[in-house]
A and B are shown apart, each in its own frame.
Chain A
Amino acid sequence: MLAKRIIPCLDIKGNRVVKGTRFAQLRDAGDPGSLAASYAAQGADELALLDISATGENRGTSLAVVSSVASRAFIPLLAGGGVRTLDDIQALLRAGADKVAINTTAVLNPRLITQAAKRFGSQAVVVAIDARRANLDGQMPGATQRNIACRQAAWQVVIRAGSEPTQLDALWWARMVERLGAGEILLTSMDRDGTRLGYDIALTRTIARAVNIPVIASGGASGSASIIAVLREGRADAALAASIFHYDRALPRVKQELKNAGIRVRT
């Protein structure tokens, strides 16, 4: 049986790690290579490197950052941000990433998911979904009055680093990306991102129950209790967090508390 994963996330902007709240208010949080090495030593199960400036500034993810992290942290590496083409994916994998997250382009050009899965294997293709709680007005494709009638809530997909709402229903989109060949979903709650209010359990559970691929929960981590909740009630396979790990050495303590709570983690 697989262990549940704890994934520290490094949001990269201009070759530095930054941290924001609700996708804005960025602060500097350190050098990617040093942070990555420190996280690996503290027991991180995987690292996520998301170049949050990439799509907006219309440039590719910094391969140098990926390469530097891969040479210092010997654990699986998920890289993303501004990924548009198969060549972008190949370059990130060659630089040392094991998986690549596709977000905006997956929405604009869903065929890329299938092509990437065929060429690099589905284990290398992660679709990142940024979701925000939406009104139940039935305006989203897939979220017709009929199929959201039995749901308590609906979430809409937002692209371009949280700046552009789409009319896609997150549940419908999650099922779709699985069908298209995604090997994993990185699900971020925009409402909770950087707030330390806990993960959006309802969102995570809704998506995780609907697909057969692993779901990484993201957005809102506040401590061991919130991680235990999203892995248990939220049914996530992995919990991603940034702020709670950046400023203190919380990772080993969190893993111990998960273990004490009876969750299977790598020790």
Chain B
Amino acid sequence: MNTTNTKKKTAVSNRTDNKDRPQSEMRPTIGIIDYGAGNVRSVSNALDALDARWRIVVDRDEAQDCSALILPGVGSFGYCMQQLRRRKLIAPLRSGIPLLGICLGMQVLFERSEESPGAKGLCLLAGAVEKLQARKVPHVGWNQVSMKRPWPSGYAYFVHSYCITGVNSAEGIHDAATALGTTRYGTCFRSAVTQSNVTGFQFHPEKSGSYGLALLRRWLTCLPRG
């Protein structure tokens, strides 16, 4: 990985995988996409806590032998897509392996966003990302997520200014093909989505305490072994 930012003498480790940890059985390797803008450490910390095997993925080659990918997102929709394209990560993300998008990483699963007109998303899910309609934007803090059973509902930590609405009532959104969870902030939006191999969380499961870890664990247990 690119280590130009590595500080000379900080005690902060810059690990790119956790292969050193004892492996009790063959577990899937989760690739955490790092396109340079986001803080991937909190995601890898959470995977460590769940005893999952992970590696940091900065380009296409490193995505090769991963059996699932996590796309954490920070920055803008357009910048994220530009970076993914530059690192030739679009193909691996669209390859059909299990994929979890977090925050902006969930938004780029869709086709386009009001945030970056003209920028094309990963188009894995149908729909567009809109500006959040609320008194205070960004939406920062703990808010309630109502999930479809058997996924648990609870409070999750959000930081975002754009969202995927769909229809304007909780019931209606639950009818939408991809809606897994909904949250109300000004308007009602899709806070979690899923469709075949693709899952997205608008909130940060890696920052949502035991509830967030429970959601990540659930996603991990659905992955194929090996």
Contact = CB atoms under 8 A, between A and B. Distances in A.
A70 B42 contact: yes
Contacts, number: 86
Given A74-B207, A74-B209, A212-B136, A3 B143 contact: yes
A63 B210 CA distance: 25
Interface stretch (B5-13, B22-30, B59-67, B192-200): B5-13
A111 interface: no
Contacts of A5: 141-142
Contact of A3 (B45, B155, B184, B207): B155
Interface in A108-131: 121-123
A123 B46 CA distance: 21
A96 B185 contact: no
A95 B12 contact: yes
Contact of A71 (B48, B142, B209): B48
Interface in A1-41: 1-3, 5, 40-41
A177 B142 CA distance: 24
Contacts of A71: 45, 48
Interface in A218-258: 237
Interface in B14-65: 39, 41-42, 45-46, 48-49
A248 to B, nearest CB: 21
A256 to B, nearest CB: 15
Given A74-B212, A75-B207, A212-B136, A3 B141 contact: yes
A94 B5 contact: yes
Given A74-B209, A94-B41, A63 B142 contact: no
A122 B212 CA distance: 24
A74 B10 contact: no
Interface in B95-147: 136, 138-143
B208 interface: yes
Contact of A96 (B7, B41, B209, B212): B41
Chain A interface category by residue count: 20 to 34
A183 B160 CA distance: 13
B189 interface: no
Nearest to A91: B7
Contact of B12 (A1, A3, A94): A94
Contacts of A121: 138, 159
Given A1-B185, A94-B5, A267-B155, A74 B49 contact: yes
B143 A74 contact: no
A45 interface: yes
B213 interface: yes
A76 B10 contact: no
B34 to A, nearest CB: 11
B143 A67 contact: no
B77 interface: no
A210 interface: no
A183 B41 contact: no
Contacts of B13: 67
Nearest to A2: B141
A142 B128 CA distance: 46
B203 to A, nearest CB: 11
19 contacts: A1-B184, A2-B140, A3-B142, A43-B209, A63-B11, A63-B12, A64-B12, A67-B11, A67-B13, A70-B42, A76-B157, A94-B39, A94-B41, A96-B45, A98-B42, A121-B138, A123-B159, A184-B140, A266-B155
> Which A-B residue pairs are the 10 nearest by beta carbons?
A64-B11, A2-B141, A266-B155, A3-B142, A67-B12, A266-B142, A71-B45, A63-B10, A123-B140, A63-B12
